[in-house]
Amino acid sequence: MAIILGDNRYGKAENRIVRIFRDESRHEIRDLNVSTALRGDFAAAHLVGDQSNVLPTDTQKQTAYAFAKQKPLGTIESYGLDLARHFVDDVPPVTGARVEIEEYAWERVRVGGVEADHTWVRRGQEVRTASITVEGSGDDRRTWVTGGLKDLVILKSTGSEFHGFLVDRYTVLQPTTDRIMATSLVAKWRFAHAEVDWDAAYAGIRRILVEQYATVQSLALQQTLYEMGRAVLEAYDEVVEVRLSAPNKHHFLYDLSPFGIENPGEVFHADDRPYGLIQASVLRDDAPDPGPAWDAYTGLV
């Protein structure tokens, strides 16, 4: 009954890389949070402290910043693919690389009604996310890409019901046919391959998620999530699975009756905790095995 080293990886998390494109008088900006992790034969580092196979996390950082200049950096997915392939292909002990990226959106400010060339404010709350996992070389090369978003805070003031639920001895909740439904959505979608127009896919999927949230008459957050995932899969052949995690951010109708005031769905208390938390996957029945696609490196707290 021996004690052994199990699964392991290491890298540099949260490199805050800002890339300005200034070839034209009108600058462009990309604002990234890049994390890299490597797998490979690192047993000696763990067992006897031998670093000869270990590319320092500092080097991973340097590489991430260097690639922000050396590579096109058109999208976070393409940049992540460049970075992950480099580690697997160019660093001998590395057999697999995972790159996770968050992108913060900026919008140009307007001056006298005209978009400024060099000045932006942060746009929205939501963060675009991607993960790229590359394993093996040559014929054994395998690649998984997921896109996603998080912190998309969305609310509908009607069109949400919740009734007909199971009742047990601890159930005091009253059914409702009209409530606020709000969430801070985390959505991730898994691509079938890496030949994708990443920006177009992101924009289109985000639009579908939001439209479904707005238009589905919700009988439960579960149903809304399913319809969101389903619609994405119907629209994008290159997506094989959508995973959704949605806190039900409760807005409780405030009881104004002690003051003789009616409150027909107008004044709410937005509560912090606890919150419902619904998680679901929607996928094609012939979706390939996800492998390590969903195996998050950062973000666990």
The residues annotated as belonging to the active site are 12, 57, 250
Amino acid at site 74:
G
Q: Would you count residue 123 as binding a copy of itself (CB under 8 A)?
A: yes
Residues 40-59 that bind a copy of itself (CB under 8 A): 42, 45-59
Burial (0-12, 13-18, 19+ Cβ within 10 Å), 273: exposed
Per rule CB under 8 A, count of chain residues that contact a copy of itself? 149
Three-state DSSP class for residue 106? strand
Residue 283's nearest CA partner among 236, 246, 245, 239 is: 239
Q: 200 or 214, CB closer to a copy of itself?
A: 214
Q: Would you count residue 261 as binding a copy of itself (CB under 8 A)?
A: yes
Q: Would you count residue 13 as binding a copy of itself (CB under 8 A)?
A: yes
DSSP string, 227-244: HHHHHHHHH-TTEEEEEE
Amino acid at site 150:
K
50 is in an annotated binding site: no
Amino acid at site 234:
E
In angstroms, give the least distance from the CB of 199 to a copy of itself: 19
Site string (193-232) toward a copy of itself, x via CB under 8 A = -----------------xx-xxx--xxx-xx-xx--xx--
In angstroms, give the least distance from the CB of 126 to a copy of itself: 8
Inter-helix orientation angle 198-215/221-235, to 10°: 140
In angstroms, give the least distance from the CB of 140 to a copy of itself: 22
Residues 128-167 that bind a copy of itself (CB under 8 A): 150, 152-159, 162-167
The number of C-alpha atoms within 13 Å of 251 and in the hemisphere containing its C-beta is 16
In angstroms, give the least distance from the CB of 88 to a copy of itself: 13
CA 295 to chain centre: 13
Q: Which residues are annotated as a binding site?
A: 57-58, 162, 179, 222, 248
